[in-house]
A and B are shown apart, each in its own frame.
Chain A
Amino acid sequence: MASSNRISRRDFVKVTTAALGSIMGVVLGIPIVGYLIDPALKAQSGEALIPLGPLENFPIGTPKAFSFTRSNINGWEKTVNSYGGFVLRKSELEILVLSNRCTHLSCSVNWEEARGEYVCPCHDAQFGSEGEVLGGPPPHPLDRYEANVEEGTLMIRFPATPYQEG
């Protein structure tokens, strides 16, 4: 070689191959990683406001049942789940919305007007009108939906929040 800073043909091919190979690796690697982790990046909040109808439909003093369905799409699969609960309008503006899912094993509780309590058909658990445990196996009170009234329509926030002490 005449001068030492002239790159030899062999070195040139080596460097070019390594550089092009790295570029191709990155160009192909990024889509592949994106493809693999894509479902993890699509966070499903699942939160929603559910309208339950005009407020005057709900009588003051007695719990009234409601139900709704939510669909969940995972990839190409769509599942529909049913949810339900009771609206207890304690006064004109004081509204308590309980989930009907028993906190023991998730059976649906029913409102027994004569006894003035919610009763679970599975293990005879009893809840008071505010969801508090009166008897039976449930570990804690019924879940509650956050409720508010917008333009005369009762709205609840899905999903229900577990009852918290205090």
Chain B
Amino acid sequence: MWQKMYAWLDERVGFDGLYKNLLDRPEPHGNWWNTLGSASLFLFVMQGLTGIFLTVYYAPTPDHAYDSIQYIMNGVAFGWLIRGIHHWGATLMVLVVFIHMLRVFFSASYKYPRELTWMVGVFLFLLTLGMGFTGYLLPFNQRSYWATVVGTNIAGVVPGVGGFILKALRGGTDVSALTLSRFFSAHIWMLPAALAGLIGVHLYLIMRHGESDYPDADD
């Protein structure tokens, strides 16, 4: 029966073509540094999943943000695990994405015809930093509050439009309930949506061009 179901699905989906186009790619002579892109993708998916589960209990308001996280850590079964993965995964993701970028730079993989892959990748890195910055405020403890005060102040020193950027980031002159809810919105909707879309473009470009070979003695 399973074979029949598989055949029915395969006829309509075309698993063979999917496999050939998506996964069956030749790798240039094996190198662990080439796995960092996949590692970044894995971390993105894991952050997405644990983040979705965290929203079950997290409340993005100044009254409840801190208490709801205390509850996740101490009151809910395995809450410490889900948040622990999200917390450390965030740090790891910034690190892995950055090392991935360094690898691409040092192996000169950004050159023709992969310039667009590189440009999209730079935006992916910036978006990852944005995820880190917005996520840092959400526990709403002293450290996250003051980090956001300082971080948004830095944006405020831009000549001319700095004051406006500061207010737009904070949703007013102070780091407040509005800041928390807009950072939350950015953290769970806007930035992940942008990341997911650009990851799609990034992956398409990689499938189209294949991975770059390392230069050898002839080059």
A residues lining the B interface (CB < 8 Å):
31-32, 34-36, 38-39, 41, 75-77
Q: CB-CB < 8 A to A38: which residues of B?
A: 76-79
B211 at the A interface (CB under 8 A): no
**Residue on A with the closest CB to B59?**
A76
Report how far A16 CA is from B57 CA in the complex, Å. 36
Q: Does A35 lie within 8 Å of B67, measured CB to CB?
A: no
| Contact B71–A32 (Cβ < 8 Å) | no
B82: contacting residue among A35, A39, A41, A77, CB under 8 A: A35
B81 at the interface (CB under 8 A from A): yes
The distance in angstroms between the C-alpha atoms of A41 and B75, with both chains bound, is 12
**Interface set of B (CB-CB < 8 Å, partner A):** 53, 56-57, 59, 64, 67-68, 70-71, 75-79, 81-82
Instruction: Give the Cβ gap from B68 to chain A, nearest Cβ, in Å.
Output: 5
Flag if A75 contacts B57 (CB, 8 Å). Answer: yes
Which residue of the partner chain, among A32, A35, A39, A76, contacts B70 with CB atoms under 8 Å? Answer: A76
| Chain A residues with CB below 8 A from B77, complex form | 31, 34-35, 38, 41
Given A38-B77, A75-B75; A32-B82 close (CB under 8 Å): yes
Residues in A with CB closer than 8 Å to B64 are 76-77
Q: Which residue of A lies closest to B79 (CB)?
A: A35
Q: How far is the CB of A129 from chain B (nearest CB, A)?
A: 45
- CB B95 to nearest CB in A, in angstroms, measures 22
* A28 shortest CB reach to chain B, Å: 9
Asked whether B71 lies within 8 Å of A31 as measured between CB atoms, the reply is no
Measured between alpha carbons, how far is A31 from B76 in the docked complex, in Å?
11
| Chain B neighbourhood of A36, CB < 8 A | 53, 56
* Partner among B56, B67, B81, B82 whose Cβ is within 8 Å of the Cβ of A76: B67
A41 cross-chain contacts in B, Cβ below 8 A: 77
Residues of chain B within 8 A of A31, CB atoms compared: 77-78, 81-82
**Which B residues are CB-close (under 8 A) to A35?**
53, 56, 76-79, 81-82
Known pairs A31-B81, A32-B82, A35-B76; A75 contacts B71 (CB<8 A): yes
- Say whether B68 contacts A32, CB under 8 Å: no
Q: Considering only CB atoms, which chain B residue lies closest to A74 in the complex?
A: B71
List the A residue with the shortest CB-CB distance to B69: A76
Q: State the Cβ distance, A9 to closest chain B Cβ, in Å.
A: 15
| Chain B nearest Cβ from A74, distance in angstroms | 10
- Could you show 26 A-B contacts with beta carbons less than 8 Å apart? A31-B77, A31-B81, A32-B53, A34-B77, A34-B78, A35-B53, A35-B56, A35-B76, A35-B78, A35-B79, A36-B53, A38-B76, A38-B77, A38-B78, A38-B79, A39-B76, A75-B57, A75-B68, A75-B71, A75-B75, A76-B59, A76-B64, A76-B68, A76-B70, A76-B75, A77-B64
Q: How far is the CA of A38 from the CA of B71 in the complex (A)?
A: 12
